[in-house]
Structure 1
Amino acid sequence: MSKATDTEVYQLLAEMQIPYERVDHKAVFTVAEIDFVIDGSDVKNLLMKSKKTRNYYFVICPGQKRLDIKALAKAVGESQLSFASEAELFDLLGLERGSVTPLALPHDTEHQITLVIDETIDQTKKIGFHPNTNTATVVIAFSDFKRFLANIAIEPTYLVIPEKQPEA
């Protein structure tokens, strides 16, 4: 797998006639490190895998949500989920840690990944993703993101992703 590049993201968005706003920033590896504001939904992107079935799940959820991984596994019909390794992230999407983005899904040519989007994300707002690098964020309308997915033949699964409850 070749490394995913920001150039290919900008080319795809141009080909699909999807308008975007580009925000350049220092490298960020987690949602917590983001020190700028985008006009839209703040989300985090995770690549998860099932140990037993070897299925992969690309999860998009609100940035501040603390994921209940056990409950999420149950919701997608798996017994157990864990984070994909850096090697798997590169093999499947051409990405490095900290740059996880659904804009790299065109690299999943064998459609090994199921895209799961949290229903609690406001689809009337814009949404921001890394353009295959963690030194920029591309902000697009959620409706354009759905058009992007349709263009690459990806049908997302929408569900309310379970949140970890604070322990009493």
Structure 2
Amino acid sequence: MSKATETEVYQLLEKWQISYERVVHRAVFTVAEIDFSIAGSDVKNLLLKSKKTKNYYFVICPGEKRVAIKALADLLNERHLSFASEAELFELLGLEKGSVTPLALPHDSARQINLIIDTAIDQTKKIGFHPNINTATVVISFDDFKRFLANLTIEPMYLAIPEKPLEA
């Protein structure tokens, strides 16, 4: 697998006539590290895998949500879900830890990844993703993100992602 690049994201967005805003910032590895704001939904991206079925799930949910992974596994009829390893992240999407983004899905040419979008995300707002690196964020309309996926013939699954209860 070749490394996913920032340039290829902009080339696809331009090819598919998707307008975007590019925000350059310091490297961020987690949602908690973000100290800037974008004009859109704050989301986090997780690449999860099932041990038994070898299914991969790319999950997009609100940035502040603490995903209840066991409950999500139950919803997906999986016994157990865990985070994909750094090697799997690179092998499937050409990405390094800290830059997980659905904009790298063109690298999943074998279509091994199931895309899940949380129904809690406001689809009327813009949405921001790393352009395959964690020192920038690309902000696009949600409709344009759906068009990006349609151009890749990816049909996302919309689910109410279960949240961990706050600890007392």
The answer to whether the superposition gives a TM-score over 0.5 is: yes
Task: Please state how far the C-alpha of 1:77 moved relative to its aligned partner.
Answer: 1.4
Q: Which runs of 5+ in 1 are unaligned?
A: none
Deviations 1:135-168 (A, max 9, x none): 0000000000000000001000000000001244
Equivalent positions of 1:82-161 (< 5 A) are 82-161=82-161
Residue of structure 2 equivalent to 1:78: 78
Task: Please state how far the C-alpha of 1:54 moved relative to its aligned partner.
Answer: 0.4
The share of aligned pairs that are identical, in percent, is 77
| SS of equivalent to 1:26 | coil
| TM-score, scaled relative to structure 1 | 0.99
Runs of 4+ in 1 over 4 A off after TM superposition: none
Tell me the distance in 1 between the aligned counterparts of 2:12 and 2:76.
30
Q: Count the aligned residue pairs.
A: 168
Alignment partner of 1:68 is 2:68: yes
Task: Please state how far the C-alpha of 1:59 moved relative to its aligned partner.
Answer: 0.3
Tell me the distance in 1 between the aligned counterparts of 2:45 and 2:79.
21
Tell me the distance in 2 between the aligned counterparts of 1:11 and 1:165.
41
Task: Please state how far the C-alpha of 1:75 moved relative to its aligned partner.
Answer: 1.0
| TM-score, scaled relative to structure 2 | 0.99
| SS of equivalent to 2:99 | coil
Task: Please state how far the C-alpha of 1:76 moved relative to its aligned partner.
Answer: 1.3
RMSD: 0.6
1:79 alignment partner AA: R
Tell me the distance in 1 between the aligned counterparts of 2:30 and 2:82.
17
